[in-house]
Amino acid sequence: MKIRSLALASLGLLAWSPAFAQGAASPDTVAVAESLGATADAINRQGFVAGRDAASKRRVMIRAQIMLDRLHFSPGVIDGVAGSNMRLAVRSFQSASGLRANGRLDRATWDKLVATGDLPALRSYTIAAEDVAGPMEQPVKPGDYGMMAERESMGWTSTREALAERAHMDEALLVSLNPGVDLTKAGASIIVANVARDTLAEVATIEVDKANRELRALGADGKVLAVYPATVGSAERPAPAGEWAVRTVAMAPTYTFDPARLTFKSKGAASGKHVVPAGPNNPVGGTWIDLTKDTYGIHGAPDPRLVGKVASHGCVRLTNWDARELALAVKAGTKVIFAGKAAPARG
């Protein structure tokens, strides 16, 4: 695996704010979207509920996911679903807040979250001309590196995908919050998750928890600065163990697929080496944090819904927005510790 950095400006990526950063609709999130029955105002005003009112509980989940995201306790893609990544985010927040770390969104946890700030969970955004200008790329089947290598870039496949990723949202949730809105029309006003994060303080140590599929960023004083769900290795190509360090950071990296250097099988292996151009849908996403363990790194992902859910090729895979945030807070020499045993994929 070889990674090479390209200038962000050459890919038109400077237009995408770090506060804004993909996802495709899944059956589960489509069901959530169809039953949401809520306006932005209703979600922004939603209080804690623990009963059987499904719509209210989903509004609670959306608001909680956004609050956690802003505090750097990433739930992964914001989708309104109480999945495994959300449970990890809640548990990490509880632990850092002195609460019982059970991973359940209870009233004490909710009250502590709400007390962290009064920013609305959702905000309006006017689609700009550059948002819809493209060029948009045709989707490529995962693992088809030969087809990927033929592209000029691994950019967005739709305006909807771009807008959803910039807001850390699942596409289905974005669509459900904007019924009838043409997401390809410049000047249209839409509702998105308000995920503007404070700049992450300098990270002194990265802990990769293989058992929990989680990455923790620590300050020089050992305080937890951020926690991200992560895909960490696989049975065929496990993540390394022990202590390593950051070697360098590449924004907008290319990706070289070389079957001669890999132990796993993949479509395209017979056709030889391929260099995949940069872009958010690159196999390593929009960011590569190179480690002193050769061929290993921490990087983004083309599909944020799968982070923490499926195996990787030995590296640590985060959402594009989490990987970018982390990359901007580390430097050469930042300690990286891998601990625990790899866990099976989770739902």
299-312 pLDDT, tens digit per residue, is 999 999 999 876 55
* pLDDT band (50, 70, 90) for residue 65: very high
What is the Cα 108 distance to its own chain's centre?
A: 27
> Looking at the predicted structure, is the pLDDT value of residue 89 above 90?
yes
CATH number for the domain running over 2-7+199-339: 2.40.440.10
**Residue from 267, 23, 272 nearest 143 by CA:** 267
Task: State the pairing for strand pair 335-339/205-209.
Answer: parallel
**Residue from 329, 29, 25 nearest 183 by CA:** 25
In sequence order, what DSSP letters do the residues of 79-100 get, joined into one string? -S---HHHHHHHHHHHHHTTS-
Phi-psi map region of 168: left, alpha, beta (phi>0 left; psi -120 to 50 alpha) = left
Residue 70 in contact with residue 114, Cβ under 8 Å? no
pTM: 0.86
Phi-psi map region of 135: left, alpha, beta (phi>0 left; psi -120 to 50 alpha) = beta
* pLDDT band (50, 70, 90) for residue 134: confident
> Looking at the predicted structure, is the pLDDT value of residue 27 above 50?
no
Residue-range domain boundaries for the chain: 2-7+199-339
- pLDDT at residue 10 in the model: 28
- pLDDT at residue 30 in the model: 41
Q: Residues with Cβ < 8 Å from 27, sequence gap 6 or more?
A: none
Question: Letter for the amino acid at 119?
Answer: L
* pLDDT band (50, 70, 90) for residue 98: very high
* pLDDT band (50, 70, 90) for residue 12: very low
Measured distance CA(134)–CA(138) in Å, rounded: 12
Give the chain's mean pLDDT.
Answer: 85
**Residue from 252, 249, 255 nearest 203 by CA:** 249
Q: Which two tokens stand for residue 229?
A: 């769900």
* pLDDT band (50, 70, 90) for residue 240: confident
Q: Which two tokens stand for residue 86?
A: 């959300």
> Looking at the predicted structure, is the pLDDT value of residue 198 above 50?
yes
What is the Cα 127 distance to its own chain's centre?
A: 22
- Does 265 or 273 have the greater pLDDT score? 273
Give the pLDDT mean for 312-319. 80
- pLDDT at residue 271 in the model: 61
Q: What strands lie across the sheet with 287-291, from one edge to the other?
A: 224-229, 214-218, 205-209, 335-339, 242-251, 287-291, 297-299, 316-317, 231-232
- pLDDT at residue 314 in the model: 64
Q: CB atoms < 10 A from the CB of 242, how many? A: 9
Q: What residues form DSSP beta bridges with 291?
A: 246
Least confident of 26-30, 55-59, 162-166, 275-279: 26-30
